Amino acid sequence: MPVRPIVRLGHPALRAPALPITPARLAEPFVQELIEDMIETMREASGIGLAAPQLGVGMQIFVYRRPTSMREPGAVVLVDPCVILLPGEPIYDWEGCLSIPGLLGLVPRSPRVRVKGSDRQGRPLDYVVAGPEARVVQHEFDHLRGRVFLDRMDDLNTLRFESDGPPARGLSHS
């Protein structure tokens, strides 16, 4: 399970919509190895989420760790996901991105989302998440649409460097 290089802002893969995966393609070793490498790369980088375009691969796959179980092995794997925003006032919190190293910004996100897609075996998934897990899911889903957290900020004045110290609230890198 080798760690792969994470591409940074400026790489075209981060700005291109990722493509869906057929069930036959999902079963191929190439794709299963990619998923293993995504999990390993995320953990090595101390991230809580990683999307395939961040490894330069334009496939609709992302992985993440549930914020409540960061120490557990493995990760949630979502293939061809769809994220539906549920009603509720947006919540602002700090986000970082492994593809935009060093920068943090305050990003509004929906408090609850419904996630539909499949797992790495192609079995259907359909569940609702809230809070920090809803945030990481929205962040990763954006990567599959060629968007980064900067595009979601409504006040770029909140951008800051991580090396200048922790912001007042929690943060996540994905």
What are the residues binding Ni ion (CB under 5 A)?
A: 97, 174
Nearer CB in complex with Ni ion: 27/59:
59
Query: Quick check: 49 and 64 in contact, CB under 8 A?
Result: yes
| Residue 143 CB, nearest approach to Ni ion (Å) | 6
Q: How far is the CB of 90 from Ni ion (least distance, A)?
A: 18
Q: CA 172, CA 118: separation in Å to the nearest integer? A: 24
Backbone angles phi, psi at 47, to 5 degrees: -95, 165
- Number of H-type helices and E-type strands within the chain: 4, 9
Least CB distance from residue 137 to Ni ion, whole Å? 12
Reduced to 3 states (helix: H, G, I; strand: E, B; else coil), residue 63 is strand
89 carries an active-site annotation: no
Minimum CB distance to Ni ion smaller for 9 or for 27: 9
Residue type, 168: A
Q: H helices of 13-130, where? A: 23-26, 29-44
Among 40, 72, 140, 162, the active-site one is: 140
Instruction: Name the residue nearer to Ni ion (CB basis): 41 or 174.
Output: 174
Catalytic annotation, residues: 140
